[in-house]
């Protein structure tokens, strides 16, 4: 018998919590269904699969027939199911109690729905920290997958990475499979014959007596959702041909990870550094550092030494996203606080909905950004905040909080003041702006402060130099999303200019100059501020009254400049058809349009997605200017402008001693 290589082929199917139903349906029709149907026709082709818990729930409910195909393949031992955290959290950034809860919840779900409790686990974004070992092991997980890059960073060579290794932490052991970067870029982008020939070459170059493994585990969305892949994989028959030629090869056999794990011994002990997949090295760095890192990588590639020494060109780690993006860090620290509150809650007060909402708030996608990752996508952040707002309301109902307290939630050295009355919650950043960074309406289950400031991104230099306006594809096969550059929208220099202030609510200016405030320590609660850089003191006070937020400005002297405040409101419909302004019985425009009104004292922001409205009123006539706030993001489909909030600019001459601006939040 010729030497054979064991092909351990795994695919990972995931959609973010809160993604649009039409996106889920399209992903299933173009990817999940045809993939399962193709593999179902070949019972001898063994493979592994991981569907994230939220997506699996959706597919079981809406496409039970296709899920029955998966169940049948599991029953006939064609498929091995992989576990993970139920809502696809990055395990390294949630508390250990929640790691165990998430992993166990999903393992029980697989056992209940498919009759198979997993022994292997998908590791979200392959973010490795040794601290995750105990939770995985305690939940019955015996092995997980990481990139071969993780192993190269320890000094291992590619030739050694044809089996699994063992690591340990706190007296628990876990086995690790190194996923081949070469295979990740070949499957399914290279021609079938080239891919199969590469797999066969892995068998030819092995030492007799050693059962080598070709290890692949990557996003199933590469099989139909990435650009051009539906035509390539299904219409042109790449997947069917690949299956047939692998099964026909005398040098390749398909096996489950569990089958290989049970039949082979570990290649030895290994301790991996804190790391994710290689592309993440650049994405996690601030723009200037990421550009410097990218330049070094390009020099290494041009010099011909990159492949041999890339493990020693280390960039950032996944947790850098919290230090890069204040909005991500704020979400994360708010989630940790709610997790601690739930953990401290007596058992008799807990209900299953609490833990489910906590798990939903830990879904990874809204916390980061690279070529993928959804921090820039408002509907994904909204899903996280909706879960947190719901959980907070449930906790407050059984373990009430004070109506006012201060803490440094995001650990940035600046305290925040929390004002809440059970209906609304306003979180004030106690810095010089004295603005609101979070504004929750519990009945609407929404954070109106959930926006994103514009900051420099490492990929902006591609826009600025207008390089690679069209995709360069290889003469054979198709290009990976990592190698494409495209434009969904026209992007200008103004679109990528960085903000010079936080995108909060009630950011004040006098004569165009930002007003610097200090908190009045003599006040009973720190929601009373006084200006420090104006000729006459300006007092600002923020109060809650049922479903009404009121900001009162008191002017102690005659000011000749015009006073203005900026309110950035995260409206769920963004620039879609469901969001509109209502003014004096008419609709002057949608949230995606600019608007200017003089002598305004009331305007309504009506939002179908929200299922409610915001009524803005002023005690004296003001000039109102509105415009959509966009940021520029990149995705596998190209650069795009994404609306983050509607910006309301109120301006008036200081002719009265006091002006009150109020926001009232009503459900329909």
**Six-digit token pair at 583?**
């003014």
Is 651 marked active-site?
A: no
φ, ψ dihedrals at 481, nearest 5°: -60, -30
Q: Does the active-site annotation cover 175?
A: no
Spatial distance between the Cα atoms of 84 and 106, rounded to a whole number of angstroms: 7
Per residue, what are the HEC states of 368-400? CCCCCCCCCCHHHHHHHHHHHHHHHHHHHHHCC
| 224 Rama class: left (phi>0) / alpha (psi -120 to 50) / beta | left
CA torsion angle for 476, 479, 484, 488 (degrees, to 10)?
Answer: 100
CA 624 to CA 195: how far, in whole Å?
61
Give the other-Cβ count within 10 Å of 575's Cβ. 17
Q: Which residues contact 1 (CB under 8 A, 6 or more apart)?
A: none
Q: Which of 72, 169, 219, 412 is catalytic?
A: 219
How many CB atoms neighbour CB 449 within 10 A? 26
As given in the structure block, the two tokens for residue 579 are 């969001």
Rounded to whole angstroms, the Cα distance separating 146 from 122 reads 9
d(CA 52, CA 96): 19
CB distance 168 to 133 below 8 Å: yes
Out of 86, 88, 98, 125, the active site residue is 125
DSSP string across 110-152: HHHHHS---SEE--GGG-B-GGGHHHHHHTT--EEEEEHHHHH
* Cα radius of gyration rounded to whole Å, the chain: 27
Categorise residue 277: left if φ over 0, alpha if ψ from -120 to 50, beta otherwise: beta
| Tokens at 233, concatenated | 């994989």
Q: Is 197 exposed, middle or buried (0-12, 13-18, 19+ CB in 10 A)?
A: middle
Apex 479 CA angle, 477 and 484, nearest 5: 165
Residue 554: partners with Cβ closer than 8 Å, 6 or more residues away? 538, 539, 540, 541, 657, 658
Q: Can you tell me the distance from the alpha carbon of 286 to that of 176, in angstroms, rounded to the nearest whole number?
A: 30
Whether 416 contacts 437, CB under 8 Å = yes
Q: Which helix (H) or strand (E) holds 299?
A: helix 287-303
Cα–Cα distance list, 586 to 453, 576, 606, 607, 614 (Å)? 31, 18, 12, 15, 16
- H, E, C per residue of 21-67: HHHHHHHHHHHHHHHHHHHHCCCCCCEEEEECHHHHHHHHHHCHHHH
Vertex 326 angle, CA 322 and 327, to 5°: 95
Any bridge partners for residue 427, and if so which?
A: 418, 438
Q: How many CB atoms lie within 10 A of CB 661?
A: 21
Contact 147, 277 (CB under 8 A): yes
With beta carbons less than 8 A apart as the criterion, state whether 255 and 45 touch. no
Active site residues per annotation = 125, 219
């Amino acid at each position: 018998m010729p030497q054979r290589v064991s092909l351990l082929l795994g695919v990972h199917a995931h959609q973010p919590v809160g993604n649009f139903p039409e996106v889920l349906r399209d992903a299933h029709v173009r990817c999940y269904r045809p993939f399962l149907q193709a593999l179902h026709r070949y019972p001898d082709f063994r493979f592994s699969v991981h569907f994230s818990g939220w997506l699996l729930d959706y597919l079981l409910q809406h496409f039970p027939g296709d899920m029955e195909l998966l169940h049948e393949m599991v029953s006939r031992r064609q498929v091995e199911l992989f576990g993970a955290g139920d809502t696809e959290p990055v395990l390294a950034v949630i508390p250990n109690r929640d790691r165990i809860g998430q992993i166990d919840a999903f393992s029980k779900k697989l056992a209940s729905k498919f009759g198979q409790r997993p022994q292997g686990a998908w590791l979200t974004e392959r973010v490795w920290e040794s601290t995750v070992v105990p939770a995985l092991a305690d939940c019955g997980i015996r092995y997980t997958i990481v990139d071969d890059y993780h192993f190269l960073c320890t000094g291992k060579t590619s030739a050694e990475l044809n089996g699994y290794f063992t690591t340990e932490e706190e007296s628990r052991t876990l086995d690790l499979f190194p996923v081949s970067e070469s295979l990740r870029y070949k499957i399914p982008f290279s021609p079938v014959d080239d891919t199969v020939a590469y797999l066969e070459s892995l068998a030819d170059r092995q030492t007799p007596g050693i059962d080598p493994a070709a290890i692949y585990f990557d996003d199933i969305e590469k099989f139909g959702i990435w650009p051009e892949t539906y035509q390539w994989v299904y219409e042109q028959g790449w997947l069917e041909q690949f299956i047939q030629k692998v099964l026909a090869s005398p040098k390749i056999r398909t096996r489950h990870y569990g089958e290989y794990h049970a039949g082979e011994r570990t290649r030895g002990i290994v301790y991996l550094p804190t790391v994710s997949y290689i592309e993440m090295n650049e994405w996690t760095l601030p723009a200037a550092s990421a550009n410097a890192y990218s330049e070094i990588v390009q020099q290494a590639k041009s010099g011909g030494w990159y492949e041999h020494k890339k493990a020693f060109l280390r960039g950032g780690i996944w947790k850098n996203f919290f230090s890069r993006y204040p909005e991500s860090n704020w979400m994360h620290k708010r989630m940790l606080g709610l997790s601690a509150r739930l953990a401290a809650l007596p058992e008799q007060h807990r209900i299953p909905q609490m833990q489910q909402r906590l798990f939903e708030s830990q879904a990874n996608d809204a916390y980061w950004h690279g070529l993928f990752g959804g921090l820039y996508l408002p509907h994904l952040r909204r899903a996280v905040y909706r879960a947190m707002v719901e959980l907070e309301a449930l906790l407050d109902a059984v373990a009430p909080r004070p109506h006012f307290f201060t803490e440094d939630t995001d650990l940035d050295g600046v305290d925040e003041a929390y004002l809440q009355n059970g209906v609304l919650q306003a979180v004030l950043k106690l810095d010089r702006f004295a603005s609101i960074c979070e504004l929750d309406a519990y009945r609407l289950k929404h954070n109106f402060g959930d926006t994103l400031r514009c900051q420099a991104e490492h990929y902006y230099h591609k826009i600025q130099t207008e390089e690679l306006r069209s995709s360069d594809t290889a003469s054979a096969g198709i290009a990976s999303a990592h190698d494409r550059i495209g434009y969904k929208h026209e992007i200008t220099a103004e679109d990528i200019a960085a903000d010079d202030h936080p995108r909060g609510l009630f950011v004040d200016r006098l004569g165009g100059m930002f007003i610097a405030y200090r908190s009045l320590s003599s006040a009973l609660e720190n929601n009373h501020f006084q200006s420090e850089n104006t000729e006459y003191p300006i007092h600002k006070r923020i109060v809650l009254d049922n479903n009404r937020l009121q900001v009162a400005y008191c002017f102690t002297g005659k000011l000749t400049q015009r006073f203005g405040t900026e309110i950035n409101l995260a409206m769920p419909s963004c620039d879609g058809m469901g969001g509109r302004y209502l003014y004096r019985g008419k609709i002057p425009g949608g949230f995606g349009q600019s608007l200017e009104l003089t002598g305004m004292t009331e305007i309504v922001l009506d939002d179908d997605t929200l299922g409610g409205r915001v009524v803005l009123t002023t005690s004296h006539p003001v000039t109102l200017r509105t415009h959509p706030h966009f940021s520029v993001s990149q995705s596998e489909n190209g650069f795009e402008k994404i609306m983050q909030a509607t910006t309301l600019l109120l301006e008036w001459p200081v002719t009265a001693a006091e002006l009150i601006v109020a926001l009232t939040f009503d459900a329909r």
